[in-house]
């Protein structure tokens, strides 16, 4: 069975400082990895994904994530945080599959709080 761990319930960072939101995963075979962001009372917005290729993936709003196979991690990063980045962030994983539907497993989420 696949699983995702987001070890921090909340991450606090000052505006302008770099931020990291951690994610580790467990899956059989090669993973497909995703990051989503959720603002209050809204749906999830897709940020970025890793399927194959370069371990450093760039996504929306200046976010990037680094895939580390040996550590089974996919940490989300941003060089300079903004107050508007404050939201709930979800990491998700699925195994490689040729099926039409992609059955994702989500972490429990990490709340990012960026302060002035």
Partner 1 sequence: DGGITQSPKYLFRKEGQNVTLSCEQNLNHDAMYWYRQDPGQGLRLIYYSQIVNDFQKGDIAEGYSVSREKKESFPLTVTSAQKNPTAFYLCASSIMDTQYFGPGTRLTVL
Task: Check residue 49 for interaction with partner 1 (CB under 8 A).
Answer: yes
Residue 34 binding partner 1, by CB under 8 A: yes
77 sits near partner 1 (criterion: CB under 8 A): no
Residue from 26, 30, 55, 102 binding partner 1 (CB under 8 A):
102
Candidate residues 90, 93, 112, 114; the one interacting with partner 1 per rule CB under 8 A: 90
Q: Judging by DSSP bridges, how do beta strands 87-95 and 110-115 pair with one another?
A: antiparallel
Report the distance separating Cα 112 and Cα 9, nearest Å: 9
What is d(CA 22, CA 14) in angstroms, rounded to the nearest whole number? 17
Residue 89 in the binding site for partner 1 (CB under 8 A)? no
DSSP-derived secondary structure for 40-84? TTS-EEEEEEE-SS-SEEE-GGG-EEEEETTTTEEEEEESS--GG
Instruction: Please state the closest distance from residue 105 (CB atom) to partner 1, in A.
Output: 8
Give the count of beta carbons closer than 10 Å to the beta carbon of residue 20. 13
What's the token pair of residue 3? 């699983």
68 vs 108, beta carbon nearer partner 1: 108
Please select the residue that binds partner 1; options are 25, 35, 36, 74, rule is CB under 8 A: 36
Interface residues toward partner 1, by CB under 8 A: 9, 32, 34, 36, 41-46, 49, 51, 90, 94, 99-104, 106-109
């Amino acid at each position: 069975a696949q699983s995702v761990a987001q070890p921090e319930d909340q991450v606090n960072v000052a505006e302008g400082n770099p931020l990291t939101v951690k994610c580790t995963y467990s899956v059989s075979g090669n993973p497909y990895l995703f990051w989503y962001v959720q603002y209050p009372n809204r749906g999830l917005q897709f940020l970025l994904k890793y399927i194959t290729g370069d371990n450093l993936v760039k996504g929306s709003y200046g976010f990037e994530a680094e895939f580390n196979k040996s550590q089974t991690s996919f940490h989300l990063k941003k060089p300079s945080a903004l107050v508007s980045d404050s939201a709930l962030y979800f990491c998700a994983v699925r195994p490689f599959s040729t099926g039409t539907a992609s059955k994702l497993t989500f972490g429990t989420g990490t709340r990012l709080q960026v302060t002035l």
